[in-house]
Structure 1
Amino acid sequence: MAELIGHDGARRAFLDAWHSGRLHHAWLLAGPQGMGKAVFAALAARFLVTHGPAGSGSVPSLDAVGDEAAARLVDAGNHPEILHLTRIAKDKGKDLARSISIDQVRVMIRKLHLSLSLGHWRVIIVDAVDDLENDGANALLKTLEEPPAQTLFLLVSHSPGRLLPTIRSRCRTLRFQPLEMEQMVGWLHDLRPMLDMTDVRAIAAASGGVPGKALALLDSDVSAMEKKLLAILTSGDPGNRLREALAREVGGASNRARLELVIDIVPGLLARLARERPIAELGPVLAQWDRVQRNARDAIRGSYDGAMVGFEIGNCLAELAPREGASAR
């Protein structure tokens, strides 16, 4: 099972509810993608199916394992009382379906009418509940309104505001916030102790406190990309050679990760530039900041051409080059 980084408040809230004997039947795990919500759901599910009824005994940690035989089934992905609803591969291919279908929800609901075969709890993990078709969301809502006994729902949501208000109202919400910078640095250093601390801090900063994004950045050459962006920023890129190279590097679906890396790095570069420049010269920096954010929003929404976004971000940086570079253009 993957390690859950941070989120001590969410751990305590769930464990305290279990100890109280009044464990809510549905939990909405809300926060940005990559925060560890699915890892928390897996951890909470393992806790429930390896322990007794809510309030039975004193358990110090959500990581504690009760019944070891049940835990081995969980770790092998074979525990009969943990059910997953998620997008599945379509037509036996690699691409996932765009949504969780109503048929998947119906299969899950039929299983809820069966008696428990092992332990005291049945746990349904929906990852992500945002992916449900409209009919599936309505079917899930009916189940949340009249939940079977000894059944608990863990609903992972990256965009809780888009859910049916009636689904949100049936759940207790746990919000997963970005981690603190030093917590991220310590975790990344433990994960990759041979990595230079300058790179560790650059990755932590670019991740925005999101562990999933940090893991993706570990596989990217952050320092090399930062140097390319700095070259545009300091030289102004006369002749557009550096901007064209950047556009090629981040263009196309296969280079989406590189484009996201650029989007993550540039705000930090602009913030550093703003700190270095006199107050009277902050206006152009802030203007380019807004321009970069607009391009980032287009990219995130998917209505973008990666090469075009990369070139436009390069333009933003080139505009802020020292005057000698500007005149050279």
Structure 2
Amino acid sequence: MLAPRENPELLGHEKAEGELRRLAEARRLPHAILLSGARGIGKATLAFRLARFLFAVSARSESGLAVDPESGVSRRVASGGHADLLTIERAYDPRRRRLRSEIIVEDTRSIAGFFRLTSAEEGWRIVIVDGAEEMNRNAANALLKILEEPPRHGLLLFVSHNPGRLLPTVRSRCRHFVLQTLPQAVVLRLLQQYRPELAGSEAEALARLAEGSIGRAIELADAAGLTLYRSILGILAQVPGVEIAGLYALAEKLARPDEEEIYRASVELLLHVL
């Protein structure tokens, strides 16, 4: 599955795409946009799609926000090399050798300096904050001045699966687009495209379990989700006389530090069952 900045395709969010295009063409695009919805449904993909559309005037499609994937703009966005696009997300902590648990103020302070620079291509300067709910209070507060006095041709795109965790002062200054989960048929189509090795019955079962999220469907596929699902159902069916050996075997598998995908998939499946 392609990363959002690389992905030229988006299914299931045509209404939001159409409205964003209408606002852009009418020159009424707000300076701050919040894209929210369940995890793994294409929010970040839509954010990068809008950025490409605003950058690539000559390579646009006739409808929606699609841009020629072979265009120079698409290639620069995909590689992270577009000078007018800045992405903010949780950064790597070299001391702990893992991603930080939150977006910190040092990350968001760079946004003000970015917007002060002149556009390299005489157009938009765009910042995408992916996982905006992960900003701590100081990081969010550092954005307030920008939101109150937005730069001309500057756009802040917030991507969040939990917008309730955003500061109200940030949330209230954004135009909010709530993206819906994907139809099961769309999840199935995408799953067959990204994981063609799956048998038809497996793909259909995973699409049902994914509850409208292609991201979740991919996670389940990569973590042997159907096998996990059957194991969990088997254990729950034994309640109250659960076989301890089987329970310990599952717990031991989930506790392995190198099995994060399986752990996350198991949590998702338990929530689905319960």
TM score, norm. by length of structure 1: 0.72
- 2:127 aligned partner: 124
Structure 1 counterpart of 2:149, one-letter code: E
Deviation at 1:65, TM superposition (A): 3.9
- 2:57 aligned partner: 51
Separation of aligned partners in 2, 1:115 and 1:13: 28
- 2:191 aligned partner: 188
Deviation at 1:192, TM superposition (A): 2.9
Deviation at 1:266, TM superposition (A): 4.8
SS at structure 2 position matched to 1:193: coil
Q: Are 2:72 and 1:69 aligned?
A: yes
Separation of aligned partners in 1, 2:67 and 2:197: 31
Separation of aligned partners in 1, 2:127 and 2:195: 34
Separation of aligned partners in 2, 1:47 and 1:60: 11
Q: Are 2:232 and 1:229 aligned?
A: yes
Separation of aligned partners in 1, 2:70 and 2:249: 57
Contact map agreement 2:52 2:67 (CA 8 A) in 1: no
Deviation at 1:119, TM superposition (A): 3.4
Q: Which structure shows the higher helix fraction?
A: 1
Which string of whole-angstrom CA distances, capped at 9 and with x for unpartnered residues, describes residues 181-213 of structure 1?
122122212333342122112211221211111
Which sections of structure 2, spanning at least 5 residues, go unmatched? 1-5
SS at structure 2 position matched to 1:83: strand
Contact map agreement 2:56 2:67 (CA 8 A) in 1: no
Q: Are 2:24 and 1:18 aligned?
A: yes
Task: Decide whether aligned partners of structure 1 residues 239 and 35 sit closer, same or farther in structure 2, where only a CA change above 3 A counts.
Answer: closer
% same residue: 32
Separation of aligned partners in 1, 2:55 and 2:49: 10
Q: Which moved more, 1:130-139 or 1:61-70?
A: 61-70
SS at structure 2 position matched to 1:17: helix
Which string of whole-angstrom CA distances, capped at 9 and with x for unpartnered residues, describes residues 113-163 of structure 1?
122221311101111222223222112021011101011110111211121
Structure 2 counterpart of 1:246, one-letter code: L
Task: Decide whether aligned partners of structure 1 residues 265 and 100 sit closer, same or farther in structure 2, where only a CA change above 3 A counts.
Answer: closer
Separation of aligned partners in 1, 2:69 and 2:230: 50
- 2:3 aligned partner: none
Separation of aligned partners in 1, 2:236 and 2:108: 51
Larger Rg: 1
Which sections of structure 1, spanning at least 5 residues, go unmatched? 271-288, 290-329
Structure 2 counterpart of 1:46, one-letter code: R
Contact map agreement 1:206 1:264 (CA 8 A) in 2: no
- 1:249 aligned partner: 253
Contact map agreement 2:85 2:126 (CA 8 A) in 1: yes
SS at structure 1 position matched to 2:176: strand
SS at structure 2 position matched to 1:28: strand
Deviation at 1:109, TM superposition (A): 0.4
Separation of aligned partners in 2, 1:189 and 1:67: 24
Structure 2 counterpart of 1:157, one-letter code: S
Which string of whole-angstrom CA distances, capped at 9 and with x for unpartnered residues, describes residues 242-274 of structure 1?
222222222354444323333444566x6xxxx
Deviation at 1:48, TM superposition (A): 0.9
Separation of aligned partners in 2, 1:29 and 1:159: 10
Deviation at 1:230, TM superposition (A): 4.4
Q: Are 2:81 and 1:78 aligned?
A: yes
Deviation at 1:233, TM superposition (A): 5.1
Contact map agreement 1:84 1:126 (CA 8 A) in 2: yes
Task: Decide whether aligned partners of structure 1 residues 100 and 198 sit closer, same or farther in structure 2, where only a CA change above 3 A counts.
Answer: same
Structure 1 counterpart of 2:263, one-letter code: L
- 2:200 aligned partner: 197
- What's the C-alpha RMSD, in Å, of the aligned pairs? 2.6
SS at structure 2 position matched to 1:99: coil
Contact map agreement 1:51 1:65 (CA 8 A) in 2: no
Where in structure 2 are the equivalents of 1:139-288 lying within 5 Å? Answer: 139-232=142-235, 239-266=243-270
Which string of whole-angstrom CA distances, capped at 9 and with x for unpartnered residues, describes residues 268-316 of structure 1?
6x6xxxxxxxxxxxxxxxxxx4xxxxxxxxxxxxxxxxxxxxxxxxxxx
Separation of aligned partners in 1, 2:267 and 2:109: 40
Separation of aligned partners in 1, 2:167 and 2:242: 52
Contact map agreement 2:190 2:214 (CA 8 A) in 1: no
Instruction: Between the two structures, name the one with larger relative contact order (CA 8 Å, sep ≥ 6).
Output: 2
SS at structure 2 position matched to 1:116: coil
SS at structure 1 position matched to 2:91: coil
The match for 2:46 among 31, 40, 50 is 40
